[in-house]
Structure 1
Amino acid sequence: MTQRILSLLFALIGWFAIITQYDLMLKNTQVSFEKTIIRFFSFFTILTNIIVAVYFTLQTVNSSKIKKPGILTAITVYILIVGLIYQIILRSTWNPTGLQKIVDELLHTVIPVLVLIYWYLYENKSGLNYKQIPQWAVYPLLYLFYILTRGHFSGFYPYPFVNVADLGYTKVLINSFWILVFFMAISILFVRVGKALIK
């Protein structure tokens, strides 16, 4: 199976999961359409899966803009954070059924594994270095700033560990710090593993 075919397959899986989750959220919402849309795009899971789907879509047309070493690694780290935090913290907080369960597993389990496999097969590991890690951290830090700012005005926080209304800013910032440490540790691990794989 060529890289382009694999990219197309992964892109289709990603877009299916995202669009289906969007449809399910609209059908089950208890707030206005506008608020539902904003909330949909307030989840790190959704935003990161969109990044993944766009990446694989661009790969199917062999876009040179996404060939730079480190881009795939950053995306892999982001989606693994999605999967690991879900498995460790969030899975026990609800019990989806039916189509929602399928989509839930795609977004939080299947797609992270697929991206990891793709990284192993196709990332230009010789171009990875530790200086790239601060650049990779920009997206999650901007996301944190966004949800805390929006939550301050709307009262909606997408995840319980960043819910200022329940935990207060001190606890939320401590939680965010440890997630950032987790992110940095995984990023360092990927650079180390990448360098080891080219030896």
Structure 2
Amino acid sequence: MRTLVNALRLVAVIAVAAAILAQWLVSSKLPSYNFFNYFGYFTNQSNIFIALAFAITLVTAARRKQGALGTSIFRGASTVYIATTGIVYNTLLVSIDVQSSVPWSNDVLHKVMPVYAVLDWLLFSDRSRLLLRHVWLFLIYPAVWLVVILIRGATDGWVPYPFLDPSLGYGVVALYCLGIAVFIALMGVLVVGMSRLRIVRV
């Protein structure tokens, strides 16, 4: 079972790398391409986080060690972020037509990985039991990301997603930010709860 689980995680890491690279090869040829903008999307960052979390977990498994608390916190946080990506995209952004999008890459980053990451966290037992206080740690990165995006939106006008556009009015943007923060906190509580489960022992 451990071999199968780790093989799935390795496939996930490769899939994320391939999807981000494929989309980058297309986006980098556009006149509007900007390296920091491309990697400024929460989608790309959350997928990179979960790929790193799986890679670290694979290294830990190769050394035949149980997941350390720090690794489990990072993996739990990454699961929250990628789940947020999946739900926000499929509720707020799925109808937006992006001409430069690579369809299979888009599906991997927004649909496949969010579902797989949540199932991986829920089913497999090789993670430490987390505590509710760890939810606060999960909120640090999204808070920093939002602050940076809001500053950029107010200065150079770039925002990665239309619901963060200052032209909507900062009251509207603040409501979206609050909604996302609440959702991330609730997802964090669920992830902490799921860390207590031992459905499939690996």
Q: TM-score range by the shorter chain?
A: 0.7 to 0.9
How far has the Cα of 1:186 moved from its partner? 1.6
Aligned to 1:78: 81
Check 1:193–1:119 CA distance in 2 against 1; reply closer, same or farther (3 A cut). closer
Name the counterpart of 1:47. 45
In the alignment, residue 53 of structure 2 is paired with which amino acid?
Y
1:140 Cα deviation after fit: 0.3
Separation in structure 2 between the aligned mates of residue 123 and residue 17 of structure 1, nearest angstrom:
28
User: After alignment, is 148-157 or 10-19 more displaced?
Assistant: 148-157
Residue 189 of structure 1 and its aligned partner are, at CA, apart by 2.1
User: What SS class does the counterpart of residue 158 from structure 1 fall into?
Assistant: coil
Q: Deviations over 1:89-117 (max 9, x none)?
A: 100122669x7111110000001112112
Which structure 1 residue ranges, 4+ long, deviate > 6 Å from structure 2? 63-66
Structure 2 residue aligned with 1:105: 107
Give the alignment's Cα RMSD to 1 decimal: 2.4
Q: Distance in 1 between matches of 2:41 and 2:67?
A: 24
Change (3 A) 1:54 1:191: closer
Of 109, 133, 136, which residue of structure 1 is paired with 2:135? 133
Distance 1:167 1:130, change over 3 A: same
- Give the aligned partner of residue 170 of structure 1: 171
TM-score of the two chains, using structure 1 as the length reference = 0.86
Aligned residues: 192
CA-to-aligned-CA distance 1:34-71 (integer Å, 9 cap, x gap): xx111101100011111122222233322779732332
Distance 1:157 1:134, change over 3 A: same
Instruction: Give the stretch that moved more between structures: 70-79 or 113-122.
Output: 113-122
**Does the CA-based 8 Å contact 2:68-2:127 persist in structure 1?**
no
The 8 Å contact of residues 50 and 78 in structure 2, kept in 1 or not, is answered as yes
Structure of higher RCO (CA pairs closer than 8 Å, 6+ residues apart): 2
Q: CA deviation at 1:19?
A: 0.8
CA contact (8 A) 1:147 1:157 kept: yes
Residue 181 of structure 2 corresponds to residue 180 of structure 1: yes
1:30 is aligned to: 31
Q: Report matched runs for 1:53-72 at 5 Å.
A: 53-62=51-60, 67-68=68-69, 69-72=72-75
Q: Which amino acid aligns with 1:185?
A: L
> 1:189/1:57 Cα in 2 relative to 1: closer, same or farther (>3 Å)?
closer
Evaluate the alpha carbon distance shift between residue 120 and residue 193 of structure 1 in structure 2; reply closer, same or farther with a 3 A threshold: closer
Percent of matched pairs sharing the same residue: 29
Specify the alignment match of 2:161 in structure 1. 159
The 3-state SS of whatever aligns with 2:163 is: helix
List alignment gaps of at least 5 residues for structure 2: none
